[in-house]
Amino acid sequence: MRTWLVLAAVLAVAAAAAADALRGGLRDRDVSGAAPAAERRIVPPGVPSGFMGTVFYSDPADGCRLHSLQLAGFSAAPPPPPDVQACRFSLSPDGARAAPDGSVWSPFGGVVAVPHGDGFSLEAGPSATIAVRGRAPAFKPDGTLTQVRDGKLVEWAIDCNPGERLFTLPEDNATARCFRTVYPHPVTSLAWFSNSRFAAVLPHGGLVIVEDGNVLVRADLPQFRRASLELSPKRSFATLWLDGELAGTFDAGGGPAPIAPVGTVTALAWAPSERWLVAATREGAVFLLRPDTGDARLRRLDISARDLAWR
């Protein structure tokens, strides 16, 4: 097992600069009914590769109402963003809906897990909401739901073994399911790189990368009150947030995905191509940059933001 993580180097840079369907569950519909938006875009002449799409942001000058910016031409993007006022938000994969901060969308956006109190709700539309006991909901790339329950990370399964305790959900055709242990320990936040590999923050403050139940990478983290993990669109990179500030970016092997130092980053969004990203600082400034290229590809955008998404 590797006991190091190059993430530590990224943490030092940050300090110096200041885990479709609920596999047998609620059906995760491909709400677009067509190819992903990134595949339908036409790139205008002169636009850098991987640069297309729309950035959504909460504008502090407008009561944190969501705005959008079309990066090809840096103009307001049609159609309008969801009519939401929220300084922090979680945007659906198609950019049509916004959920509260901390919510996790299934791969196609048909289901969203919204944490609250000691549990979370699964929402697949206005009339399909299910309350679930447990914490740290996350979706694998294939749409399987995982969560922490009774001190273990489990997944929802339908291929259950004889003798396993079964359960059903309302409005789901009485499909029988069981909980299957994925990792016999609790986690506070996790993100799935693949159907078998995830990164997770542990309750005692460590970070692990686990493959099929085996710990590949383990690292200690500085003290924090709140931690979360997010993934880039293709699940190539994870971002680690400690107390609302970017602490590091790393790949599925624990290697760094460094970005140019632009200050204390409080929001970040990857382009669908993962070749570009936008980052907002504590002061509200927003920068467009290429990861791992230093300052050469850095541009400040004429907007301010508390949170960001790129679709």
Angle at 195 between CA 189 and CA 197, to 5 degrees: 55
Interval 38-95: pLDDT, tens: 333 444 444 565 667 899 999 999 999 999 998 765 666 666 789 999 999 999 999 9
What does the chain come to in residues?
Answer: 311
What pLDDT, on the 0 to 100 scale, is given for residue 290?
Answer: 85
pTM of the model: 0.81
Going by pLDDT thresholds of 50, 70 and 90, the confidence category of residue 287 is very high
Structure tokens at 147: 């969560």
Going by pLDDT thresholds of 50, 70 and 90, the confidence category of residue 159 is confident
| CB-based contact 257:292 (threshold 8 Å) | yes
Helix-strand-coil split of the chain, %, nearest 5 = 5, 40, 50
What pLDDT, on the 0 to 100 scale, is given for residue 165?
Answer: 83
Going by pLDDT thresholds of 50, 70 and 90, the confidence category of residue 193 is very high
- The beta strand positions in 145-236, using DSSP E, are 145-149, 152-157, 178-183, 189-192, 197-201, 206-211, 214-220, 227-231
What pLDDT, on the 0 to 100 scale, is given for residue 293?
Answer: 61
Going by pLDDT thresholds of 50, 70 and 90, the confidence category of residue 13 is very low
Q: Which residues of 165-178 are buried (b: 16+ CB within 10 A; e: fewer)?
A: eeeebeebeeeebb
**CA dihedral in degrees (229, 307, 276, 231; nearest 10)?**
20
Residue with the two structure tokens 């609920």: 22
Interval 161-186: pLDDT, tens: 887 888 776 656 667 889 999 999 99
CA gap 300, 288 in Å, rounded: 6
Of 19 and 187, the structure prediction assigns the larger pLDDT to: 187
3-class DSSP state of 8: helix
What pLDDT, on the 0 to 100 scale, is given for residue 18?
Answer: 29
